[in-house]
């Protein structure tokens, strides 16, 4: 089925029809975590939102190269190159090597992503693994005249750049407004312009993570890593770049400027930004100290939590708000999601035992279309969830003999519920995704194919024996006009 997908593009502030640069293929880059501490639930919201987007693009049949980086160097405490290196500070605190900090929190991040059932990206590049690419890019920006070096630090010249290209497009702000929001330069500042930012930062004697470069020992600025890694793996212009909304004003604005100054091209066709997870209206963040960790959420071991919640209920909670709206955390909302999710999973189990009739009282094709329409409208998961609950209503009504469904519609209903709930929303029930379940599914496919071959050779005695033998193991095969299906009655 051909689907027309619309995406809200931050760059144009409109929903645009999605047309990939290369038909059938999508390049997707998402800013990954800064691995100097555990990821909090807010970070998870952003990664889960892009997992939904990745899953839907795959479902539509696109060949997606999904790059999500690991920031393991260069992220200073201030957005604009002030403050300490986050890794060095943590390394001192925990008395570890900076790379031990990186390893510890990268592993922790992967564990959390697995708990929430995220698909791994196609490439997960690290900033420290791409220092050479970052240096090359900085050299090119200098030779194109958009950066300058002072005492071993290289600054991007925003004022010069903004004479030729719009700076601040992503947040729709003019240079004058941006200048107003920054402090005056003092005598201590090396940089020429208030908005200039560092591409390369000279090492101080105490700097732990440093590399040699044409400008001496130092380390890359935070913004350049994403420009270098995205262009390396996805090309100078690629389809979708995502991250949290907090990255729009500085990190992504500077990514656009760097790529434009280096490659003479705007790097991204569709910019996508997720809104923030808040706690009592305040953005969850590491610095605000209101960021509870997924582990605390699962065990309930935090003063803000009334009890523990399982990862799938939390994922479902996140799916009930559109990714561009803020999502406020509360125990009541999570408990409501827990109940809703249990109802959804129970209905999917019931679906396996529904009996077909001669006619349908509900229009399942329309239900399927409503699910696609929701996702095609800028990945509107809450509207999708509402349609899936219409599916739940139909399942329960058929089960209670208040409604009827044909065999064809039953198959379509199963396909729709399974692909949207498990494949696209990325939820799993204990029984639907276990490895033994998957093995059984695979084995049954093999058996049904053998049975088909036997029947084609008109050996009906053997095919009936196969069916009866499976029956003895409580596996029922039914021949429908769309081919054989199997089930295990409870």
Applying the rule CB under 5 A, the residues between 167 and 226 that interact with Zn ion are 226
Applying the rule CB under 5 A, the residues between 222 and 281 that interact with Zn ion are 226
For the bound state, the minimum distance from the C-beta of residue 165 to ligand AMP, rounded and expressed in Å, comes to 24
Is position 395 an interface residue for Zn ion (rule: CB under 5 A)? no
Residues lying near ligand AMP in the complex (CB under 6 A): 31, 33-34, 42-43, 45-46, 71, 243-244, 246-247, 274, 276-277, 283-285
List the one residue out of 267, 250, 268, 260 whose CA is nearest residue 163: 260
Helix (H, G, I), strand (E, B) or coil at 273: strand
For the bound state, the minimum distance from the C-beta of residue 377 to ligand AMP, rounded and expressed in Å, comes to 21
For the bound state, the minimum distance from the C-beta of residue 111 to ligand AMP, rounded and expressed in Å, comes to 16
Binds 364, which of Zn ion, ligand AMP, none (CB < 5 to 8 A, cut-off by type)?
none
For the bound state, the minimum distance from the C-beta of residue 100 to ligand AMP, rounded and expressed in Å, comes to 18
Q: Name the residue with the smallest CB distance to ligand AMP.
A: 244
For the bound state, the minimum distance from the C-beta of residue 475 to ligand AMP, rounded and expressed in Å, comes to 45
Q: How far is CA 408 from CA 48, 272, 359, 360, 395, in A?
A: 33, 38, 10, 9, 14
For the bound state, the minimum distance from the C-beta of residue 30 to ligand AMP, rounded and expressed in Å, comes to 7
Q: How many residues bind Zn ion (CB under 5 A)?
A: 2
CB atoms within 10 A of CB 87: 28
Task: Give the nearer residue to Zn ion in terms of CB position, either 162 or 230.
Answer: 230
Decide: 78 and 251 in contact? Cβ < 8 Å: no
Task: Give the nearer residue to ligand AMP in terms of CB position, either 34 or 337.
Answer: 34
CA-to-CA distance for 412 and 283, rounded, in angstroms? Answer: 41
Is position 31 an interface residue for Zn ion (rule: CB under 5 A)? yes
Binds 226, which of Zn ion, ligand AMP, none (CB < 5 to 8 A, cut-off by type)?
Zn ion
Decide: 35 and 72 in contact? Cβ < 8 Å: yes
Phi-psi region of 433 (alpha: psi -120 to 50; beta: other; left: phi over 0): alpha
Task: Give the nearer residue to ligand AMP in terms of CB position, either 94 or 352.
Answer: 94
Rounded to the nearest 10°, the torsion over CA 379, 385, 390, 391 is 90
Task: Give the nearer residue to Zn ion in terms of CB position, either 275 or 463.
Answer: 275
Binds 250, which of Zn ion, ligand AMP, none (CB < 5 to 8 A, cut-off by type)?
none
Binds 133, which of Zn ion, ligand AMP, none (CB < 5 to 8 A, cut-off by type)?
none
- Total residue length of the chain: 490
Work out whether strand 268-274 and strand 277-279 pair parallel, antiparallel, or are unpaired: unpaired
Part in contact with Zn ion (CB under 5 A); list of ranges 10-18, 30-38, 332-340, 442-450 = 30-38
Q: Residue 480's beta-bridge partner residues?
A: 483
Task: Give the nearer residue to Zn ion in terms of CB position, either 31 or 228.
Answer: 31
Binds 285, which of ligand AMP, Zn ion, none (CB < 5 to 8 A, cut-off by type)?
ligand AMP
Binds 42, which of ligand AMP, Zn ion, none (CB < 5 to 8 A, cut-off by type)?
ligand AMP
For the bound state, the minimum distance from the C-beta of residue 251 to Zn ion, rounded and expressed in Å, comes to 5
**319 HSE (CA, 13 A, CB side):** 30
Helix (H, G, I), strand (E, B) or coil at 238: strand
Work out whether strand 268-274 and strand 238-244 pair parallel, antiparallel, or are unpaired: parallel
CA-to-CA distance for 115 and 121, rounded, in angstroms? Answer: 15
List phi, psi (to 5°) of 392. -60, -45
DSSP 284: P
Work out whether strand 63-68 and strand 153-156 pair parallel, antiparallel, or are unpaired: unpaired
For the bound state, the minimum distance from the C-beta of residue 228 to ligand AMP, rounded and expressed in Å, comes to 17
Chain residues binding Zn ion by CB under 5 A are: 31, 226
């Amino acid at each position: 089925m051909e689907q027309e997908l619309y995406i809200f593009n931050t760059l144009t502030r409109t929903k645009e029809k999605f047309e990939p640069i290369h038909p059938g293929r999508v390049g997707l880059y998402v800013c990954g975590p800064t691995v100097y501490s555990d990821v909090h639930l807010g970070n998870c919201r952003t990664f889960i939102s892009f997992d939904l987007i990745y899953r839907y693009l795959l479902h539509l049949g696109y060949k997606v190269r999904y790059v999500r980086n690991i920031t393991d160097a260069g992220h200073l405490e201030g957005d604009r190159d002030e403050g300490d290196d986050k890794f060095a500070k943590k390394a001192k605190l925990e008395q570890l090597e900076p790379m031990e900090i990186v390893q510890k929190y990268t592993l922790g991040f992967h564990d959390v992503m697995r708990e929430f059932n995220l698909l791994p990206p196609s490439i997960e590049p690290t900033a420290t693994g791409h220092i050479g690419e970052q240096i090359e890019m900085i050299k090119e920006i200098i030779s194109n005249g958009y950066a300058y070096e002072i005492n071993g630090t290289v600054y991007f010249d925003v004022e010069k750049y903004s004479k030729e290209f719009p700076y601040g497009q992503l947040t729709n702000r003019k240079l004058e407004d941006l200048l107003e929001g920054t402090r005056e330069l003092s005598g201590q500042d090396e940089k020429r312009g208030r908005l200039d930012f560092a591409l390369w930062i000279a090492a101080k004697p105490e700097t732990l993570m440093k590399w040699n470069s044409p400008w001496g020992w130092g380390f890359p600025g935070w913004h350049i890593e994403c420009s270098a890694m995205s262009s390396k793996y996805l090309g100078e212009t690629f389809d979708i770049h995502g991250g949290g909304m907090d990255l729009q004003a500085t990190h992504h604005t500077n990514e656009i400027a760097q790529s434009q100054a280096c490659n003479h091209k705007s790097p991204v066709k569709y910019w996508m930004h997720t809104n923030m997870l808040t706690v009592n209206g305040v953005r969850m963040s590491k610095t605000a100290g209101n960021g509870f960790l997924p582990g605390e959420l699962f065990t309930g071991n935090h003063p803000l939590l009334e009890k523990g919640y399982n990862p799938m209920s939390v994922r479902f909670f996140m799916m009930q708000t559109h990714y561009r709206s803020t999502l406020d955390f509360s125990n009541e909302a999570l408990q409501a999601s827990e109940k809703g999710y249990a109802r959804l999973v129970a209905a999917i189990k019931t679906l396996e035992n529904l009996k077909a009739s001669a006619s349908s009282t509900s229009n399942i094709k329309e239900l399927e279309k409503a699910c696609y329409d929701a996702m095609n409208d800028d990945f509107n998961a809450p509207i999708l969830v509402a349609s899936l609950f219409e599916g739940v209503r139909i399942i329960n009504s058929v089960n209670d003999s208040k409604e009827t469904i044909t065999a064809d519609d039953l198959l379509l209903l199963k396909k729709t519920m399974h692909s949207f709930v498990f494949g696209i929303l990325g939820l799993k029930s204990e029984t639907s995704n276990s490895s033994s379940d998957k093995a059984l599914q695979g084995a049954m496919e093999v058996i049904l194919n053998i049975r088909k071959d036997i029947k084609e050779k008109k050996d009906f005695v053997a095919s009936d024996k196969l069916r009866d033998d499976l029956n003895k193991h409580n596996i029922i095969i039914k021949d429908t006009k769309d081919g054989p299906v199997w089930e295990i009655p409870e």
